[in-house]
């Protein structure tokens, strides 16, 4: 924590960056919140601990934040993966943001270039955790009707506040498909069809892109397990197409590439 504050102060004082995007204490003990330190004093409020899980990379797409000038970004692993995907998707130029990773030992690693981020991530564990896998298997094992019932109940709570979309670093479209009304792709109401279509399209638009930062599920005020939809597609995409979004700047989006011998058993 001290290390982070010192680093932030140094960067701001040296003028290397105009803002350090990090975390500070939130309303209660369970919560940390995003914090934008723009001068040396403010760096005192920076914290970094287990509470700090929001993917701050999302803010790099926000005009007001862009306007602050070059940023140093305190990155959890999900945020680092986001930077890689931003590079793939042409949303961020190299060296325009300084990534700060905090090691378990508490020391701060500066990652000024995509190459450095890629290298740093190479050492990290990949793919879904055993817990995530088990959760998928649990639902997969349910009989069709129960699976449908489970999701009907989950999605019935969706109020279409689009917190999932706003929190997702990769939902950066200036106009989301839900805002297209010619044709009206997704029913506006948070009715059963609207909620189903929204959650399907959200998951599909992230298939092969999702860096599994978990922000969507964390953001959902209704606690809907939308992350499962991302996970099931991530598992499929990696199993079928070897998709590993977020670990390199190589442009190999699973859905805009193909192999003539991609395997499937369902096409007659």
Partner 1 sequence: MPRIGVFICHCGENIAGTVDTAAVAKNAADFPGVVHSIDYKYMCSDPGQNLIKEAIKEKKLTGVVVAACSPRMHEPTFRRACAESGLNPFLCEMANLREHCSWVHEKGEATTEKATDLVRIMVEKVKRNRPLYPISVPVTKTALVLGGGIAGIQAALDIANAGHKVVMVEREASIGGHMAQLSETFPTLDCSQCILTPRMVEVAQHPNITLYTYSELESLEGFIGNFKAVIRKKARSIDETTCTGCGACIQKCPTKKIPSEFNAQLGMRTAIYVPFPQAVPNKPVIDRKNCTFFKNGRCKLCERVCPAKALRYDQEDMLVELNVGAVVAATGYQVKDTDFFPEYGYGAHKDILTGLQFERLASASGPTQGVIKRPSDGQIPETVVFVACAGSRDPAKGINYCSKICCMYTAKHAMLYRHKVHSGKAYIFYMDIRAGGKMYEEFVRRAIEEDHVNYVRGRVSRIYKKNGKLIVKGVDTLLNSRPVEIEADMVVLATAMVAQPDAEALAQKMKVSYDENKFLSEAHPKLRPVEMNTAGIFVAGACQAPKDIPEAVAQASGAASKVIGLFSKDELSREPVVAVVSRMGPPDFSTCIGCFLCESACPYQAIEREEIKARDGRLIKTVAKVNQGVCQGCGTCVALCRSKSIDLQGFTNEQVFAELVTL
Partner 2 sequence: MGEQRILQKASLGELFAKLIAGGQRILAPVKSDDRVEFAAVKTPDQIAGDYIQTTTSAKTAVFPRYETMLRFRLKGKDVDVDELTPEAKPTVLFGVHPCDAASFATLKAVFTWDSADAYVEPKLEKTTIIGLSCTKGDAYCFCTSVGGGPGDTRGSDILLTPIDATKYLAEILTDKGRAIVAAAPQLFTPANGEAKEPVLAKIAPRFAADKLAQKLSALFGKTDVWLNQSLRCIGCGACAYACPTCTCFDIQDERQRYGGVRMRCWDACGFGMFTLHASGHNPRAKQSERWRQRIMHKFSYQPERLKVLGCVGCGRCSRACPTDMNLGEHMQSLAETTV
Partner 3 sequence: MAEFEPKVVAFVCNWCTYAGADLTGTSRIKYSPNVRMIRLPCTGRIDFMLLLQAFGQGADGVIVSGCHPGDCHYTAGNFHARRRWILFRRLIEFMGIDLRRVHFAWVSAAEGAKWAELVTNVVDEVRKLGPYQSFPKRLDGQPKPVEVA
Which residues make Cβ contacts (< 8 Å) with residue 5, sequence separation at least 6? 43, 44, 46
C-beta of 193: minimal distance to partner 2 in Å? Answer: 9
Nearer to partner 1, 5 or 85 (CB): 85
Q: Which two tokens stand for residue 48?
A: 């970094």
Residue 167 touches partner 1, criterion: CB under 8 A: no
Residue 124 touches partner 3, criterion: CB under 8 A: no
Helix (H, G, I), strand (E, B) or coil at 240: helix
State how far the Cα of 236 lies from the Cα of 243, in Å rounded to an integer.
Answer: 9
State how far the Cα of 234 lies from the Cα of 151, in Å rounded to an integer.
Answer: 19
Residue 232 touches partner 3, criterion: CB under 8 A: yes
Q: Which of 176, 217, 226, 243 binds partner 1 (CB under 8 A)?
A: 176
Choose the contact partner of 253 out of partner 1, partner 3, partner 2, none; CB within 5 to 8 A by kind: partner 1
Choose the contact partner of 172 out of partner 3, partner 2, partner 1, none; CB within 5 to 8 A by kind: partner 1
State how far the Cα of 146 lies from the Cα of 150, in Å rounded to an integer.
Answer: 6
Q: Which of 131, 145, 175, 181 binds partner 3 (CB under 8 A)?
A: 145
Residue 110 touches partner 3, criterion: CB under 8 A: no
E strands of 181-251, at which residues? none
From residue 172 to residue 211, the character string flagging contacts with partner 3 as x (rule: CB under 8 A) and all else as - is -----x-------xxx-xxxxxx-xx--xx-xx--xx---
State how far the Cα of 79 lies from the Cα of 98, in Å rounded to an integer.
Answer: 12
Asked whether the CA dihedral 48, 21, 173, 80 is positive or negative, the reply is negative
Are 227 and 217 a contacting pair, CB within 8 Å?
A: yes
Q: Which of 18, 36, 53, 89 binds partner 2 (CB under 8 A)?
A: 36
* Residues making contact with partner 2 (CB under 8 A): 26-28, 31-36, 54, 58-59, 62-65, 159-163, 165-167, 179, 184, 187-191, 215, 218-219, 221-223
């Amino acid at each position: 924590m001290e290390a982070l504050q010192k680093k932030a102060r140094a960067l701001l004082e040296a003028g290397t960056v105009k803002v350090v995007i990090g975390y500070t204490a939130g309303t209660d003990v369970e919560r940390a919140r995003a914090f934008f330190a723009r001068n040396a004093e403010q760096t005192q409020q920076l914290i970094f601990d287990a509470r700090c899980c929001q993917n701050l990379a999302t803010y790099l797409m926000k005009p007001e934040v862009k306007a602050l000038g070059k940023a140093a970004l305190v990155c959890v692993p999900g945020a680092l993966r986001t930077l890689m995907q931003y590079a793939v998707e042409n949303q961020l130029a190299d060296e325009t943001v300084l990534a700060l990773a905090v090691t378990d030992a508490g020391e701060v690693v500066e990652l000024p270039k995509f190459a450095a981020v890629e290298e740093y991530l190479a050492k990290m564990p990949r793919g879904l955790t055993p817990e995530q896998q088990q959760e998928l298997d649990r639902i997969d094992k349910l009989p069709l009707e129960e699976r449908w019932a489970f999701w009907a109940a989950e999605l019935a709570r969706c109020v279409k506040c689009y917190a999932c979309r706003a929190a997702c670093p990769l939902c950066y479209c200036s106009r989301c498909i839900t805002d297209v009304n010619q044709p009206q792709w997704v029913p506006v109401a948070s009715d059963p069809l609207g909620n189903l279509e929204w959650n399907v399209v959200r998951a599909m638009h992230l298939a092969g892109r999702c860096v599994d930062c978990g922000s969507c599920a964390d953001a959902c005020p209704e606690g809907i397990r939308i992350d499962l939809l991302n996970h099931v597609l991530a598992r499929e995409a990696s199993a079928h197409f070897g998709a590993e979004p977020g670990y390199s700047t190589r442009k190999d989006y699973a859905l805009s590439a193909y192999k003539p011998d991609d395997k499937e058993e369902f096409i007659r």
